[in-house]
Amino acid sequence: MARLLVIESSARQHGSVSRQLTERFLTRWRAAHPDDRICRRDLGAEPVPHLDIALLNAWTQPAASHGPAECAALQRADQLVHELLAADVLVLAAPMYNFTIPSTLKAWFDHVLRAGVTFRYSENGPQGLLHGKRAFVVTARGGIYSGGIQDHQEPYLRQLLAFMGIHDVTFIHAEGLNLGSEFMAKGLEAAEQRIAHLI
């Protein structure tokens, strides 16, 4: 039995392609792995605050000096890290906003990229501490960017995940969604076929 952590980050609750594809992914996953447990966090519905001084102080200052803001920030970050540590499989739903990821997803990473917990610094440089996990990333893109110089999304997410030790990363792209009905249909079909092939 595996544990999945699903992170939704689309600002849209309705009409979101990344959410639609995530549901297709999970439907197939449940059919293939009925005993697996799924934990979901919706950053669109409940955004994680951006990294602020309260969280920085909570990480760097003695616990005795923490006020209510620091305690609340640390409790929130601890919960997000706990969800990630407990997961065997991470599923990120990431629409492309301005060539990269939603700021809500960036804020989530800012909370879980935590020295001494998900990575550490050594004499050989940073080392990821999350071993044995795999990740699937479902993207929705208005244009076609895969392999191009304007795709700052996939390389960035690969770097963030690898920094924590997650190297088994599979991307599922739905591209060309704003280029007309024909491109949209092809982009959705390609993504759905990839999901069917992977699971």
Write the pLDDT tens digit of every residue in 144-155.
Answer: 988 888 899 999
**pLDDT attached to residue 34:** 95
Is 9 annotated in a binding site? The answer is no
Tell me which of 3.50.50.60, 3.40.50.300, 3.40.50.360, 3.90.1150.10 is the CATH number of domain 3-48+84-198. 3.40.50.360
In this predicted structure, what is the pLDDT of residue 148? 85
97 is in an annotated binding site: yes
CA distances from 8 to 46, 122, 130, 160, 197 (A): 10, 33, 21, 17, 22
**19 within 8 A of 97, measured Cβ to Cβ:** no
The pLDDT of residue 89 is 98
Say if residue 99 carries a ligand binding annotation.
Answer: yes
What pLDDT digit, counting tens, does each position of 26-60 carry?
999 999 999 999 999 999 999 999 999 999 999 99
| Residue 96, marked binder | yes
Given a cut of 70, the residues of the chain with pLDDT beneath it are none
Which pLDDT belongs to residue 92?
98
Angle, helix 181-198 to helix 17-32, in steps of 10 degrees: 20
Q: How many angstroms separate the CA atoms of 174 and 154, rounded?
A: 13
Judge whether 164 is annotated as a binding position.
no
Domain residue extents for the chain? 3-48+84-198
Q: How far is CA 159 from CA 84, 128, 152, 154, in A?
A: 17, 11, 11, 9
pLDDT at 147: 85
Cross-sheet strand order for the sheet of 134-140: 37-42, 3-8, 89-95, 134-140, 168-174
| Token reading at 10 | 């689309």
